[in-house]
Amino acid sequence: MSDSAHPAIHPAPTTFIRKWVFSTDHKIIGIQYYFLALIAVFTGLALSVLMRLRLAWPTESWPWLETIFPVGFEGGVMSPEFYLAMLTMHGTIMVFFVLTTAPQGGFGNYFLPIQIGAHDMAFPVLNMLSFWVTFLSMGVMFAAFFVAGGAPISGWTAYAPLSALGEVAGPGLGSGQDLWIISIALFCIASLLGALNFITTVLNMRAKGMSLMKMPLTVWTWFTTAILALLSFPVLLAAGILLLLDRLGGTSFFIPAGLVVSDTVIESSGGSPILWQHLFWFFGHPEVYIAILPGMGVASQLLSTFARKPIFGYHAMVVAVFAIGMLGFFVWGHHMFVSGLSPFSALVFSILTLAIGVPSAIKTFNWLGTLWGGKIRFTTAMLFAIGFVSLFVSGGITGLFLGQTSVDVQLHDTYFPVAHFHMIMGVAAIFGIFGATYYWFPKMFGRMLHEGLGKLHFWLTFIGVNAIFIPMHLMGIMGQLRRYAESTEFKFMEPLQPYQEFVTIAALVTAAAQLLFLVNFCWGMFKGKKAGENPWEATTLEWITASPPPHDNFGGRELVVNHAAYEYGVPGAPRDYVMQTDPPLETTK
Amino acid sequence: MALALAILIWAIVLASVVLFTGEFGWFPPQISEHGDAMDAQFNLTLIVVAIGFILAQVALGYYVWRYRDRSGARAVYTHGNAKVEVATVLITAVTFVTLAIIGQRVWIGLHLEDMPEDAVQVEVTAQQFAWNFRYPGPDGKFGKTATRLINDQLNPVGLDSRDPASEDDVVTLNRMAVPVNRDIRLTLRSKDVTHSFFVPALRFKQDTTPGLAIPGHFKALKTGEYEIACAELCGLQHYKMKGFLMVMSDQEFEAWLKERAEF
């Protein structure tokens, strides 16, 4: 197995460009991905704040915003098309450039090779290429803000034929939509390359003794995520190309015959809008797990480390991760219960969807089991991991409503699913990212983040996200529809205005709290306390090497792994933790 | 720290329970024959979800507080317990799958049951950003339509006047009348992009997908005027795409239809 494990030891780069820009070092690439995600997340956050202002005070004038966005805020009030453009870009940027990029591209790139004892990824040049294609993709996406007509208004799901017809169907559906599709296609290619690299690395590059069942759960989740990406992104890529052909090449994959848009007959023949939905959600549902699985791995790693206990039910956790990943490919139809899908297939999709609740319950149960009987150390990283578990429960359990055909009918496209997916794939995943950041920052930058500031960040964020998204479920029950620039036109949504204001205020406070994180991050990089090799007294391989690790990760050492990933509190061991490379214990059972 | 976090988690649980059981708003009052079963399924799910939510969060808060680091012995050394894992799988699998199966009854009633012959037919044609409704008239047959005849002002659904069946068809804009306590059979279409026909009070939502004629049916049990909203993003004025469902007595309905036919 590990004989083939020593190819890619490339010499350390000497020039600035090779070291920091076109680097083939997985650690630098991980950091590049992370910073890309950081820019994206603050952009996406700013867009959501703008949307929240419009929703809470639809008629209020904001003259200072007009100076920043002369087109979108004419007269100081956000135009509905600007609202829809914000909505599309917020969703797209967050899903692709944050939730897919930071956990996998960022932390996965940096720590997967180190945690399995490899010197680098299997294909370092391919790795560099993945990042730069992602970078290009984000550039193209951001360019959509600035073209004539602005960013597209068709939502992150880009349902055809709205997304296929061009400017006749609405503003932003011209060049903005073209750029959106091109960007997504590039992103698919980058993710595909990344996935190949991750899978090959896990299978071929493990150090001596690092059997699959000794791997940290983080590695298992990155590995599973890579498999999901490998199987789902090509489908989105194909769909994107077909959509682009419909727009520019005169084809009719997604445009049915006989459309009349604004009294204009559209020349097309026989395409299917439902086909787009199938292709999109065949990617889109696994994508949810691409976003959340690495967070589950991080939560497991952190809970075990800071509870000073082995993970409860390691094997069950591995099986559950795989089960969630694989079942995730057979449930895409639950996004389409009211689309005109065959009512018979809806029955099957519904039962499979609820079945995903089973491995999810196993995960939750085992996280609780890991805390049980522990000696919990409340670091900032641990707080975020505990917050992750809480949010995972709150956000996941509402899937039981939406996965049922008959309950979904009323809730579909209301704020209820918006609250559900923000809670689970949004903030739970982000809590995974925050936990990972507070935990691994010392390893990545050689300095500690400020714990006090970090804890304040946690408290405000944890209270904030609950205050935003729990009431949003109720708003959905009351009938608040999503993607509405304002809800003043309908009587049944009138009672909801106070809730809109409450949620906006909670969102403003929560958004402001993220500045604490930014300050802490910048401060920590330059002024933080120097970190030792193993500040958390953790067991996995990244903690046996310097902070930050040398170019080849372990300074030329040949590693032999003797222990499982999370051996804390072993009776008879000299310390309360046994590192994976520690010599075998004499007193083991 | 431990206690603060435990209290916060419990406070979130308490706030959620208050929010979902107090007088903070709920579904709009429902008026359809199938609506009660749908709401009942929601409530059943709510009970299952609440039990899982409360158990998990309360345990999380308790463990966080109970197992905080206090000086003394090491943590309990265990790798898990296969029996409890299996029990968790069995309990959740049985609960969730049973829930899914019970919920299907309503769905089957909504989609897979035959309509009686005397159902009132209405064709819904959505467009950016309006609702067109068509009634077949006394002959009970919808006349032919053609795309090239569509004109938003004069002929919004493109009725073909050469077809005699089209002569008595009644087309209305944004207002849909139906008789109370009668089966209504819908055919849902769209002229341009995907919309979604949503009547909150009816517990009825169905996308109108261009290129498809999607069937649907309901029975309204209470007279009155109810809002129709578009639930699928369809463009700029999605948030303004409003219609009204008017549920009236048989006589009122006949009179309403007649009035429109003469017009």
B50 and B127 share a domain?
Answer: no
Domain that holds residue B124: 120-262
Cα–Cα distance for residue pair B77/A587, rounded to 1 Å = 14
B226 and B180 share a domain?
Answer: yes
Question: For residue A156, what is the DSSP state?
Answer: T
Identify which of A344, A350, A486 has the shortest CB distance to residue B100. Answer: A350
Q: Can you name the residues that pair with A265 across neighbouring β-strands?
A: A260
B16 and B104 share a domain?
Answer: yes
**Residue range A145-184, pLDDT digits in tens:** 999 999 999 999 999 999 999 999 998 999 999 999 999 9
ipTM of the complex as predicted: 0.96
Cα–Cα distance for residue pair A463/B11, rounded to 1 Å = 10
Q: How far is A344 from chain B (nearest CA, A)?
A: 8
Calculate mean pLDDT across residues A176-196: 97
> Which has the closest alpha carbon to B26: A421, A229, A270, A477?
A477
The confidence score (pLDDT) of residue B262 equals 76
If you search the block for the tokens 């200072």, which residue do you land on? A64
Identify which of B27, B198, B212 has the shortest CB distance to residue A340. Answer: B212
Cα–Cα distance for residue pair A475/A367, rounded to 1 Å = 31
Identify which of B89, B97, B211 has the shortest CB distance to residue A256. Answer: B211
In a domain, B73, yes or no: no
Q: Which domain CATH number covers B184?
A: 2.60.40.420
Cα–Cα distance for residue pair A5/A189, rounded to 1 Å = 26
CB contacts under 8 A, B 145-164 vs A, are 147-148, 150-152, 158
B13 and B127 share a domain?
Answer: no
Cα–Cα distance for residue pair B45/B34, rounded to 1 Å = 17
B148 and B255 share a domain?
Answer: yes
CB contacts under 8 A, B 70-89 vs A, are 70, 74-82, 84-85, 88-89
B-chain CB neighbours of A478 within 8 Å are 25-28
In a domain, B75, yes or no: no
Which run of H or E residues covers position B172?
Answer: strand B170-173
Residue type (1 letter), A266: I
The confidence score (pLDDT) of residue A3 equals 43
Would you give the end-to-end CA distance of chain A in angstroms? Answer: 27
Q: Do A340 and B214 touch (CB under 8 A)?
A: yes
Domains of chain A (ranges; CATH) run: 30-257+267-578 (1.20.210.10)
In a domain, B257, yes or no: yes
User: Measured between alpha carbons, how far is residue B183 from residues A35, A409, B122, B154 in Å?
Assistant: 59, 19, 11, 30
B98 and B149 share a domain?
Answer: no
Q: Do A340 and B193 touch (CB under 8 A)?
A: no
Report the percent of chain A where pLDDT is more than 70: 98
In a domain, B136, yes or no: yes
The answer to pTM > 0.90 is: yes
The confidence score (pLDDT) of residue A436 equals 98
**Residue range B4-21, pLDDT digits in tens:** 999 999 999 999 999 999
The confidence score (pLDDT) of residue A5 equals 45
Q: Do B96 and A371 touch (CB under 8 A)?
A: no
CA A34 to chain centre: 12
Domain count, chain B: 2
In a domain, B72, yes or no: no
Cα–Cα distance for residue pair A362/A438, rounded to 1 Å = 26
Cβ–Cβ < 8 Å for A404, B45 = yes
The yes-or-no verdict on residue A524 having pLDDT over 60 is yes
Calculate mean pLDDT across residues A430-456: 98
Identify which of A347, A374, A492 has the shortest CB distance to residue B200. Answer: A492
Minimal Cα distance from A258: which residue of B? B147
Q: Do A316 and B80 touch (CB under 8 A)?
A: yes
B129 and B106 share a domain?
Answer: no
- What is the residue-averaged pLDDT of chain A? 95
B125 and B87 share a domain?
Answer: no
In a domain, B50, yes or no: yes
B247 and B155 share a domain?
Answer: yes
B95 and B158 share a domain?
Answer: no
B87 and B138 share a domain?
Answer: no
Cα–Cα distance for residue pair A438/A451, rounded to 1 Å = 9
What residues of chain B score a pLDDT lower than 70?
263
**Residue range B91-139, pLDDT digits in tens:** 999 999 999 999 898 899 888 887 788 899 999 999 999 999 999 999 9
In a domain, B172, yes or no: yes
Token code pair at residue A403: 């996965």
> Which has the closest alpha carbon to B134: B146, B121, B119, B115?
B121
B97 and B158 share a domain?
Answer: no
The confidence score (pLDDT) of residue A589 equals 46
Cα–Cα distance for residue pair A95/A104, rounded to 1 Å = 12
Measured CA angle at A488 (ends B256, B231), to 5 deg: 70
Cα–Cα distance for residue pair A341/A346, rounded to 1 Å = 7
Residues 6+ apart with CB under 8 A from A478: A492, A493, A495, A496, B25, B26, B27, B28
In a domain, B26, yes or no: yes
